[in-house]
Amino acid sequence: MQFLKYLILLVYVQGTPAGKLSKREKQSCPIDLPQNVKPESQCYRERRLSLISNRYAYRLRKGTTELPFNRLEVTVEDYKKFLLRSPFLLHHARLWRKQLNFIESRQAVYVSDKVFLPEAMNGSEFDTMRKFFKDGIKSEENLIKEYMVIPSDEEPFLNGDWKSDKYFAEQRLAGTNPMTLQKITIDSEYGMPFQELKKLINPKFEWTVALNRALPEVIDSPGVIEAIKKGRLYVLYHPFAKYLNTLPDLTDDDPRRQMWKQPAPVAIFASKLSGTTRELVPVAIQMDANLDSPIYSPQDGDNWMLAKLNMQLTDLGNSQMVEHLTKVHFVTESLCLSHERQISERHPLFEMLKYHCRGIFTTNTLAAPELLDERKALHEIFGYGHSGGAQLVRDSAQVLHWDNLQPARNIKIRGLDDEENLPYYPYRDDSELVYGAIKAMVKEFINAFYNKNEDVAEDEEIQRFAYEISADGDGMIRGFPSKITRKSSLIETITRMIWIATAQHSVVGYPVADYATYVPNVSTKLYDVYGIPPNVFDSARLNARKTASASTVIFFKIGTFRYDKIFDYADKLQDSKAKEIVSAHKLKLDKDVQQELEKRNKERLDEGHLTYPYLLPKWITNGVQE
């Protein structure tokens, strides 16, 4: 029935076979807004016909209350056939598949070479394993190594001592997830309210004693309140983790090793005066979100190390599902699906945005089953397994709001726009510069094609695009405008769409190649081991060899493939105005923004901080490509 409906519409718009345009005639149709194309013209008919065809090719599977994202309605096998008819998407897909195959081949070599070794690994073996994969990526055996360069191999980069409290704190600001830390607040709409935090933390712990070590002025309960009012206290907590179950361990059946249950730890940090500036330091970590859960501080030796690892695995496991998969992959797919279905190929914005949408349907359609299905990647490497991953996506999707995907807004609502108490926050500072550069390009681009607000309101393709996405229209994304009637609104919408697919994806995806492939920094599982006392840290508590190699493979897959570079498509655009605009802003990114961020990273390195290469324009891709 659906095919018949499209066939009837196609005949209605196309008319007789004589009404078809030749390839040459199609190319002569201008890149323009729909209202500027005369209804009686062949180009108008071709534009309508093309949209009908695209709506059938990109069929929509409507989002649900549980998973409020419109997705491409296609099977894996049908999508592979679809790729063969789409050269624009096919080249990326083939290289992406080669990247996966190469990393999997390295895993096969590693596993076969270590088959007779004990499953438990010591510290040096984790180093050796990581080096084995990194050396392979850079070797001549890797025929696509130019697409698999890791920034930390070329840029000034400080991993730091993984055991140190300093770099544990800084990973909240410049590591795999700079998106969750919040300021603790009182009587504020931003950050985490102190009254809410008190519902989670163990009241029996001597909080004033722990806080006093970082903030000497805190000597009693009123001192704690005063520190909060001054913006000196922060919390890292993943609320959805509290409701996750722990699945059976697929990769480790050693009866002497008992995997820890999936935790929901709560970490408290303070802004401590260090010389003339302030720095974020960890104060205490509660092992789970229960009022009777044990709490450890930096004075607690190996228990403190285990507490930090407990926080690390929770932060990584939750952020990859929430910040990466949900807020980037699924949001981008929904936006790009409506871009394909509702905006004509002859629309100036389509011509530009298609480069920011390339890759998303391939990765979401072909990789998602390998990640989320039972007994697949998530089930192997995280205690919450495939069902927990799906639950994290559902839970986070239900509270997702378009406004909060704007970086400055996100930072503000978490209370992290305070540069006095938090002077070091690379994501905050660098995202402002990159977001501004993207917006400058989009603003000039839109001003070149829309003379006034009425031009935006009269663009029926943009209106259908917005309506299909918005929860106030036919879509499911809350806060997305159902109508776009002003140039300023269109500029912000397109800027945010590009930001999410490019820079934000770089922020939440690529750092795993540096931080998550080194198991002692973040082990995706932790264990109680027969013969090792509960309060003693030992590398035997970390991922054993099978799990360690599986997690390393996943994170190198996620964090190494770069098909292109942001705004590198100017010479491929057909419209001369569009070419000039994108080319000029690409130059500004590569020169002005790149140089400024390189300068910042040098200063960070000189000051002993973690550097942050992930928002350098040379490392940002045009879209979601892995």
pLDDT at 1: 46
Mean pLDDT of the chain: 94
pLDDT at 9: 45
pLDDT at 123: 86
pLDDT at 67: 83
pLDDT at 10: 44
pLDDT tens digits along 70-88: 999 999 999 999 999 999 9
Q: In what order do the strands lie in the sheet with 233-237?
A: 192-193, 182-185, 233-237, 266-274, 277-286, 295-296
**For the domain bounded by 151-619, which CATH number is listed?**
1.20.245.10
Each domain of the chain, given as residue ranges in start order, spans 151-619
Residue 608 backbone phi and psi in degrees, to 5: 85, 20
Rounded-to-integer distance, Cα 39 and Cα 570, Å: 30
Rounded-to-integer distance, Cα 358 and Cα 508, Å: 18
pLDDT at 159: 66
pLDDT at 25: 45
Residues of the chain with pLDDT under 50: 1-25
Kindly report the three-state secondary structure assignment for every residue of 214-236: HCCCCCCHHHHHHHHHCCCEEEE
- For 204, the token pair is 């029996």
3-state DSSP assignment of residue 344: coil
- For 581, the token pair is 């605009």
Nearest one of 280, 319, 325, 326 to 178, comparing CA atoms: 319
- For 490, the token pair is 């269109």
Contacts of 357 (CB under 8 A, 6+ apart): 332, 335, 336, 339, 340, 501, 623
pLDDT at 307: 98
Q: Any idea what DSSP says for residue 522?
A: -
Instruction: Give residue 284's region: left, alpha or beta (phi > 0; psi -120 to 50).
Output: beta
Q: Is 221 exposed, middle or buried (0-12, 13-18, 19+ CB in 10 A)?
A: exposed
Rounded-to-integer distance, Cα 124 and Cα 109, Å: 19
